[in-house]
Structure formats: C-alpha cells, structure tokens
Structure 1
Amino acid sequence: MEIVLASHSNLAKGMYDSVTLIMGKQQNLHYITAYVDDSVDFKNQLVEEIEPIKDQKIVFVTDIIGGSVNNNVIDLTSQNESYFLISGMNLPLILELITKISSIKDSDSANEIEENLQQVVELGSSGIKLIKVDNSFTEEESF
C-alpha cells in the first residue's frame, strides 16, 4: 500500500522530510507539492505523479479539507475503490499511518482498510493538545 502526501506549497515535502528523519526512508511514501510552480496544473501533476503506483492501493493525505488539493484528490479517489483519502495532515497522523500500513494486507477489503484508517485518524487526532506552559514548567518535567 502506498501513501501520497499532497499539500498546498511545500507542507507535504516538509512532512516527508520529517518522517525520513524520524523513521528513515520509506519506500511507499510519496509527496506532491501543489502550486509551487504556477505553470503546472495541479490536476495534471497529481495524475502524473501517481502514474508509477496508480495500480496499487493508495492512501492520500491532504493538508486541509475543502481546499483545492483535497477537492482534486476527492475527484481522483472517487473513481477508484483502491484509493483512500485522509484530510488534515499532521506529523503524528503520518507516523501512525506508516506504522499501521504494515499490518494492512493486499487481500483486505475496502471496509477493512477503512476501519484501520479510522483508527489511524483517531490516534493521529489524539496527539493534538492545548498545552499551557507557565513559569513553573521545565524541560526536565516534560520527560
């Protein structure tokens, strides 16, 4: 199963670079940076970038729901039941996705994959916290 990070500008590349730093190079992780070059149509860029993996099961992760990147990926994923979409890209979500992907089998049904991806979304979302830092907080206490 392949993972494609897609974002406005360079967020997807930054996430890719961060994952590589933390977990090493991931063969199934790819990224697409939209609108970095004004002369490139994102829809065409998307189709071209996934060409080598288009026959695989793919999980797309986009930066923001309702944005043009997400909407173009929706158009693409709606045409293929082996494509899945998660919106709301963040680093904990991507790390969890990479970890979980290894337990998803090619023989798993779309429903089984969606259940696994829902778990990833829930775990990725649980890493979002408001942290109140006051003068009594020290680095030593954070560990």
Structure 2
Amino acid sequence: MEILLISHDGIASGAKKSAELILGPQENLHVIELTAVGGVGGFATKLIQYISSKITTSQNIIIISDLKNGSPYNTAVSYIINNDLADKVSLLTGMNLNMVLETIMLDGDSVTGIELNTVIGTAIDGISMMQPSDYNTAISTGDE
C-alpha cells in the first residue's frame, strides 16, 4: 500500500511531518503539493509520474486530498477516470491528521472500501467544537 497526500502548498507536507512525529518515519507516505511556482501543470506532471511509478508495484494507492473539488483533487479524479484506475487508486478528501494516521495504520497491501469508510469515520469523529462544560473535564497528556 502506498499513501499519497495531495494538497495546496504546505498542507500535505505539514500532515506528513506531524504523522511522522507521532508514528516515526513512513516509507510509504508521500507528498505532492500544488505550488504557485509549479502551478496545476507542474502538479499534474508530478502526480502522473508518481501514480505511473507505483501502479505496477503496489496493490493499492490511497490518495488523500485536502479539499474536494480543489485543483489537486480535480487533477487526481481526472487522471484516475481517464486511465481507468478506480480499482487500484482510492481517493479520499477532507484531509486531517486523524485521517492520515488511520490510513497509515491500515494493515496490508489490499485495502477494502469498508476499511476506508472506517478511516473517514475516524476523521469525522475527530472534528468537534468544545463546549464550556468540556473545559472542566480532566485533560490527559500524551507524548504527541
């Protein structure tokens, strides 16, 4: 399994850095970002090169995008559809650190739709708004 984080400049690299701070180095976690310098064309070239290089050696490529219908997401959708790769490349959107960590911890080369739906559920569960009563509860500290 290969994991590719795609985003507008800085988001994916920040998520990768944070995930590796928590879990240690991840050799199957990669980043491609849309930058002002490279533009959409440069981003698309890197994305195509990455997928082409991994598609024959990995049973699953999981791409996590920052923003649904943003340029990185749209570029990935277009490439996946135009090259009939939907059975080999999974595309998730709404990147957050919970989603990235949960994806890294998936086991094995073959990932099911059920497992990816669990990843999405974990990402959603990590989103909340603190209520005044929440501030009165004990906060556990960890190594993160």
Cα deviation code 1:83-129 (max 9, x no counterpart): 000000000111111112x1x444x6xxxx11210111011211111
Compared CA separation, residues 96 and 63, structure 1 to 2 (3 A):
same
| TM-score between both structures, scaled by the size of structure 2 | 0.82
5+ residue gaps, structure 1, are none
RMSD: 2.1
Aligned to 1:137: 135
Q: Name the SS of the counterpart of 2:105 in structure 1.
A: helix
**Preserved CA contact (<8 Å) 1:10 1:36:** no
Name the residue aligned to 2:91.
Answer: 85
Secondary structure of 2:138's aligned partner: helix
1:67 equivalenced with 2:77 (yes/no): no
- Report the 3-state secondary structure (helix = DSSP H, G, I; strand = E; otherwise coil) of the residue aligned with 1:70: helix
Q: CA deviation at 1:37?
A: 2.2
Determine the structure 2 residue equivalent to 1:11. Answer: 11
Q: 1:51 to 1:37 in 2, by over 3 A?
A: farther
Superimposed CA distance per residue, residues 24-73 of structure 1 (whole angstroms, 9 cap, x where no aligned partner): 01111111111252365221121123343132220000000011110111
Determine the C-alpha separation between the residues in 2 that align with 1:133 and 1:15: 29
Cα distance 1:105–1:48, how it changes in 2: closer, same or farther (>3 A)? closer
- Please state how far the C-alpha of 1:10 moved relative to its aligned partner: 1.1
Q: How far, CA to CA, are the matches of 1:8 and 1:84 in structure 2? A: 19
Decide whether aligned partners of structure 1 residues 38 and 28 sit closer, same or farther in structure 2, where only a CA change above 3 A counts.
closer
Among candidates 105, 110, 122, match of residue 99 of structure 1: 105
**Higher mean C-alpha deviation, range 19-28 or range 35-44:** 35-44
Q: Is the 8 Å Cα contact of residues 9 and 35 (structure 1) preserved in structure 2?
A: yes
Equivalence for 1:27: 27
**Identity over aligned residues, as a percent?**
28
Q: Name 1:43's counterpart in structure 2.
A: 44
Please tell me whether the aligned partners of residues 58 and 84 of structure 1 are also in contact (alpha carbons under 8 angstroms).
yes
Work out the CA distance in 1 between the residues paired with 2:51 and 2:21. Answer: 23
- Contact kept? 2:3, 2:61, Cα under 8 Å: yes
Aligned residues: 134
